[in-house]
Chain A
Amino acid sequence: EAGVAQSPRYKIIEKRQSVAFWCNPISGHATLYWYQQILGQGPKLLIQFQNNGVVDDSQLPKDRFSAERLKGVDSTLKIQPAKLEDSAVYLCASSLGSSWGYNEQFFGPGTRLTVL
Chain B
Amino acid sequence: GDSVTQMEGPVTLSEEAFLTINCTYTATGYPSLFWYVQYPGEGLQLLLKATKADDKGSNKGFEATYRKETTSFHLEKGSVQVSDSAVYFCALSDGQFYFGTGTSLTVIP
Give A residues with C-beta under 8 Å from B: 3-4, 33, 40-45, 48, 56, 91, 93, 98, 100-110
Flag if A91 contacts B93 (CB, 8 Å): no
Residue of B nearest to A59 (CB): B96
Taking a contact as CB atoms closer than 8 A, the residue among A44, A45, A91, A102 that contacts B44 in the complex is: A91
Shortest A108–chain B CB gap in Å is 6
Q: How far is the CA of A10 from the CA of B89 in the complex (A)?
A: 23
Ranked 5 nearest A-B pairs via Cβ? A42-B99, A102-B32, A107-B43, A107-B44, A109-B43
Give B residues with C-beta under 8 Å from A: 4, 31-32, 34, 36, 42-46, 49, 51, 89, 91, 93-97, 99-102
Residue of B nearest to A92 (CB): B43
Known: A93-B44, A104-B49, A108-B43. 7 other contacts (CB 8 A): A4-B43, A42-B89, A42-B100, A101-B31, A102-B34, A102-B51, A109-B42
- Chain B residues near A56: list those with CB within 8 A: 96
Taking a contact as CB atoms closer than 8 A, the residue among B44, B46, B51, B93 that contacts A43 in the complex is: B44
Flag if B95 contacts A98 (CB, 8 Å): yes
Flag if A101 contacts B93 (CB, 8 Å): yes
Q: How far is the CA of A103 from the CA of B43 in the complex (A)?
A: 18
* Contacts between chains A and B (CB distance < 8 A), count: 54
Shortest A65–chain B CB gap in Å is 18
Q: A40-B101, A42-B99, A43-B99 are in contact. Are A107 and B45 (CB under 8 A)?
A: yes
- Chain A residues near B43: list those with CB within 8 A: 3-4, 91, 107-110
Q: A43-B44, A105-B46 are in contact. Are A100 and B94 (CB under 8 A)?
A: yes
- Chain B residues near A93: list those with CB within 8 A: 44
